[in-house]
Structure 1
Amino acid sequence: MPGPRLLGREPLPPWLGAVVDRLVATDAVMRFAPRVPSELVGTSSQSHLEAAKSFDAGLARRSLVVFSDEAYTSALHDVAAVGEHRVTAKCLNAASLGWAEGSLIPRAPLRVSLTMRHVPAVKGATSPKAL
């Protein structure tokens, strides 16, 4: 089949307590923002906290990103569903990818992302068998 694809099998690191994400088909920018305490949701403090502590990580096609510790427990992450990403000063590794601030990183129409994460038991959660 023509087009980008995962070539061969690659061993993945142990991922207990971490997120392992393999981005296959396209370059992208992953945004990390702090989890906002429930008492701040909907307040001006929420916007200030998110703006002050958010950052981006550039992900080249066929990247493997692993994050743990505070990035796993205290931050939310996403890759925006956009046609292109604008590189900002908040993209911590832009220079290492050869991306200049202000440049546009086009996204392929198809994004394939393989994600593994450990989700600890949630107090009060219903087991799938009970559904």
Structure 2
Amino acid sequence: MLDLEQYRVGDLPTLYYVPDAITPAEEQSLLTHITASKQQWKTVSGRRLQNLGGIVHKKGLIPAPLPSWLQPLLGRLAQDTGAYGEGKQPNHVLINAYQPGEGILPHEDGPLYHPVVVILSLQNPAVVRFARKRRDEQQSDAAAAAEGAESHGRAGQLVASVACMPRSLLIFKDEAYSGCLHGILEAAVEDIDASVVNAQQAGLQVGQALPRGGERISLTVRRVLHTYSLGLRL
């Protein structure tokens, strides 16, 4: 099991970056399986998305079998990180395909999941930026997302940014999961500014421009806390 404290970055106590978590050969194998998969891609806000493991709705997960080629990776992530709880494995994976210039608005993953996310980046880099949520209890979720989007343009409101290089893991949980919004700018070139807390670990320098390159594939690996049978009436 990884000692995650060795990989903690920035001031958030529950934000971790693991470089070179898989080998180039393992990366290529995953990309080959993803490319050959018959799973349907869905277009969401410009990016392409595959949903593996079932349908997530407001009460939990209606499960579907995960592909056999994905099982060794999920078991390894569960064992190496211990992120999903003792003896627990992830049961849901989102595969996102981002072209340079495509991003995702600041958002939170919410209470349906065990409060941890593990993101494996493949092929090309991107920077994931974390902005602390407003504490005003009367603020709506929509307003919170809008505030997070605005914060992308104002570095002073960012808590941290993490440069996710190919084959790396980004892990965030607890405070970083529930107290922050996270997103990716719509940019073809990322500015490695002072908010990037893992510049050294990623082999980068503050002030550097990081081209996104070609398509980036990411696997967002989570555990939905509650599962239901197909007989559930929605």
Q: What's the TM-score once normalised by structure 1's chain length?
A: 0.72
* Structure 1 runs, 4 residues or longer, greater than 4 Å off: 45-50, 128-131
2:164 corresponds to which of 34, 48, 59:
59
CA displacement 1:51-89 (0-9 Å, x = unmatched) = 334310121111111110100111111122321101001
Distance 1:5 1:88 in 2: 31
Deviations 1:5-33 (A, max 9, x none): 72455411243320011111112211001
Partner of 1:125: none
Which position in structure 1 is the counterpart of 2:197? 92
Which SS does the other structure have where 1:51 is aligned?
helix
Alpha-carbon distance between aligned partners in 2 of 1:81 and 1:20, rounded to the nearest angstrom: 22
Residue of structure 1 equivalent to 2:77: 12
State the superposition RMSD in angstroms: 3.4
**Closer/same/farther in 2, CA of residues 39 and 50 from structure 1, 3 Å limit:** farther
Identity among equivalent positions (%) equals 27
1:70 alignment partner, SS class? helix
Q: Is 2:170 the counterpart of 1:72?
A: no
Secondary structure of 1:55's partner? Answer: strand
State the aligned residue count. 122
If asked which structure has higher relative contact order (CA below 8 Å, sep 6+), I would say 1
Aligned to 1:99, the other structure's residue is in SS state: coil
Q: Secondary structure at the match of 1:96?
A: coil
Which residues of structure 1 form unaligned runs of 5+? 122-127
